[in-house]
């Protein structure tokens, strides 16, 4: 069994804490690795290493920094199969999707390397004669990146790539559920000649190590991908230092299916958006509104499609459509939400229980009818393969129901009517809307939530500029 050590200042070292985190394969329920349960001293060591390395890193030409991102992409590609295997083992993502995550992560490093010659400052016209106003874009300094368990490898790159490209250094903490792929990557990074201290990986709990990282005065920005609860705690913890935060939090994405939609396309996209990675994706379709005149047809097709969703061993060939939930706690959370929905009047049309499996934290793909807007299942993030559905009478009502939500990450609409598309584009209050397709973003877009889904965002030009601060210089000559 593998044991992962902290990666600080260009080398692997033991944690100050002797405590270990056990990493469990959610499908077999067996411990597959241990990682350090790091403490505040580990956090301080990593931050000090990142701080010491930052000025020299920022002084390198950006094209040179981009070269290291390309090397990271190269070592990922050279080890793509082994990395995907590690990912499947630590989180029971089906192997085809795990391979996509690894491959897209390599592309992500290449994508941000490509920004080296593109990001710019500005020259601003002055009110005075003989004056130039220059706006520089400069690195923030030391970034703290905190990752969730659902896309541990990709989200790691989402934080590392823009930090390093723009001249900051970073301390990154993976989720305690899924540290393995990150530390396998650390071993690869150790071979590419990156200056020591530029990239540091530390494992440990959010409440201890994570808290110490975000509270430190060394930290210039905290970028968290995780739950609303963790976001709230981090806002409080960073308040004394007024530290910049970029928060990518939970979602409760509505999918609106209009009567004029291509019904088969809508069913396929909604089911795909619900069961991808066993429903554990922030932008998953979490609730569905269907126009009343086609509700019976849609529900019949949806029920059949969800009942046909296969689940099982994530390594099986061919892959099932989904596998186990990440943990017993997540499984019990889903179970509790479905039970409370039933007690409030929802009807289980498909699933609604654990399957009979020898091992693994499985929940059956589930469709709930007779849902109402006030139910918890329509308002709180489920993060599992459960789709509550509710009818609507017209687009005004559908948009109002969709917007009536504390989250604001993603949304979708299925219609052939361009007027409805334009109304949804203007009136849905979400960071992203998908029209006639599944929920999933592109690296050149901008992934940012409204309301409790977050502050700031990631990807593309706007995601890169999150990692830069401005410095305006007035030159009188």
In the complex, the residues that contact ligand NAP under the rule CB under 6 A are 146-151, 173, 175-176, 205-207, 210-211, 214, 224-227, 230, 233-234, 248-251, 282, 381, 383, 409, 447, 449, 454
Distance CA 345, CA 325 (A): 26
Task: Report in angstroms how near the CB of residue 235 gets to ligand NAP at its nearest.
Answer: 10
Task: Report in angstroms how near the CB of residue 43 gets to ligand NAP at its nearest.
Answer: 10
**Nearer to ligand NAP (CB atom), residue 224 or residue 349:** 224
**Nearer to ligand NAP (CB atom), residue 35 or residue 341:** 35
Distance CA 71, CA 42 (A): 27
- Residue of 184, 248, 291, 438 marked active site: 248
DSSP state of 279: G
**Nearer to ligand NAP (CB atom), residue 162 or residue 167:** 162
Task: Report in angstroms how near the CB of residue 243 gets to ligand NAP at its nearest.
Answer: 12
Select from 267, 259, 258, 230 the least CA-distant residue to 245.
Answer: 230
Name the E strands within 14-119: 20-24, 31-36
**Nearer to ligand NAP (CB atom), residue 162 or residue 210:** 210
Question: Is 120 one of the annotated active-site residues of the chain?
Answer: no
Within 13 A of 226's CA, how many CA atoms are on the CB side? Answer: 25
Task: Report in angstroms how near the CB of residue 219 gets to ligand NAP at its nearest.
Answer: 11
Contact partners, residue 231, CB within 8 Å, separation at least 6 = 224, 245, 247, 249, 452, 454, 455
**Nearer to ligand NAP (CB atom), residue 79 or residue 203:** 203
Integer Rg of the chain from CA: 23
Question: Is 284 one of the annotated active-site residues of the chain?
Answer: no
Alpha carbon 128 to its chain's center: 47
| Helix (H/G/I), strand (E/B), else coil: 473 | strand
**Nearer to ligand NAP (CB atom), residue 206 or residue 312:** 206
CA 218, 221, 222 angle in degrees (round to 5)? 105
Strand partners, 433: 411
CB 165 within 8 Å of CB 116: yes
Q: Closest-CB residue for ligand NAP?
A: 206
- Residue of 101, 147, 184, 282 marked active site: 282
Task: Report in angstroms how near the CB of residue 172 gets to ligand NAP at its nearest.
Answer: 10
Task: Report in angstroms how near the CB of residue 392 gets to ligand NAP at its nearest.
Answer: 25
Backbone angles phi, psi at 399, to 5 degrees: -65, -40
Select from 196, 163, 183 the least CA-distant residue to 65.
Answer: 163
CA 171, 460, 402 angle in degrees (round to 5)? 100
Task: Report in angstroms how near the CB of residue 155 gets to ligand NAP at its nearest.
Answer: 6
Distance CA 26, CA 292 (A): 39
**Nearer to ligand NAP (CB atom), residue 226 or residue 369:** 226
Element (H, E) at 244: strand 244-248
The CA distances from residue 431 to 41, 44, 48, 220, 338, in Å, are: 38, 35, 35, 25, 27
Q: Which residues does the annotation mark as catalytic?
A: 248, 282
């Amino acid at each position: 069994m593998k044991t992962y050590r902290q990666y600080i200042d260009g080398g692997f070292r033991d944690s100050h804490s002797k405590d270990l985190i056990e990493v469990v394969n959610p499908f077999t329920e067996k411990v597959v690795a241990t990682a350090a349960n790091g403490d505040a001293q580990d956090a301080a060591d990593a931050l000090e290493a990142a701080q010491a390395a930052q000025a020299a890193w920022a002084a390198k030409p950006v094209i040179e920094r981009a070269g290291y991102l390309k090397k990271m992409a190269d070592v990922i590609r050279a080890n793509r199969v082994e990395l995907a295997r590690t990912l499947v083992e630590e989180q029971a993502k089906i192997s085809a999707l795990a391979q996509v995550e690894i491959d897209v992560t390599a592309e992500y490093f290449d994508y941000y390397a490509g920004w080296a010659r593109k990001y710019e400052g500005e020259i601003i016209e002055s009110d005075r004669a003989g004056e130039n106003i220059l706006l520089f874009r400069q690195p923030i300094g030391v970034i703290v990146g905190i990752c969730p368990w659902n896309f541990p490898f990709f989200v790691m790159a989402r934080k590392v790539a823009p930090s390093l490209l723009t001249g900051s250094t970073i301390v990154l903490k993976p989720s305690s559920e899924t540290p393995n792929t990150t530390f396998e990557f650390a071993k690869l990074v150790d071979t590419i000649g990156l200056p020591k201290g530029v990239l540091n990986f530390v494992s440990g709990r959010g409440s201890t190590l994570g808290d110490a990282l975000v509270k430190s005065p060394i930290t210039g920005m905290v970028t968290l991908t995780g739950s609303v609860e963790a976001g709230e705690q981090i806002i409080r913890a960073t308040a004394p230092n007024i530290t910049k935060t970029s928060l990518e939090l939970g979602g409760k994405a509505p999918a609106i299916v209009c009567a004029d939609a291509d019904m088969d396309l809508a069913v396929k996209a909604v089911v795909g958006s619900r069961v991808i990675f066993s429903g554990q994706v922030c932008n998953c379709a979490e609730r569905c509104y269907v126009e009343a005149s086609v509700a019976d047809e849609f529900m019949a097709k949806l029920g059949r499609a969800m009942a046909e969703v296969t689940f099982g061993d994530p390594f099986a060939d061919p892959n099932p459509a989904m596998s186990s939930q990440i943990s017993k706690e997540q499984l019990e959370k889903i179970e509790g939400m479905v039970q409370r929905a039933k007690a409030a009047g929802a009807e289980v049309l498909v699933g609604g229980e654990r399957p009979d499996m020898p091992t693994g934290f499985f929940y059956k793909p589930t469709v709930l009818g007779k849902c109402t807007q006030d139910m918890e299942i329509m308002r709180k993030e489920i993060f599992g393969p459960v789709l509550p559905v509710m009818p609507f009478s017209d687009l005004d009502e559908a948009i109002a129901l969709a917007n009536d939500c504390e989250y604001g990450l993603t949304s979708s609409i299925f219609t052939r009517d361009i007027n409805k598309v334009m109304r949804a584009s203007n009136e849905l209050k979400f960071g992203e809307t998908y029209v006639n397709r599944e929920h999933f973003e592109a690296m050149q877009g901008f992934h940012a939530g409204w309301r409790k889904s977050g502050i700031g965002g990631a990807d593309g030009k706007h995601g890169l500029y999150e990692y830069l601060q401005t410095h305006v210089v007035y030159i009188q000559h």
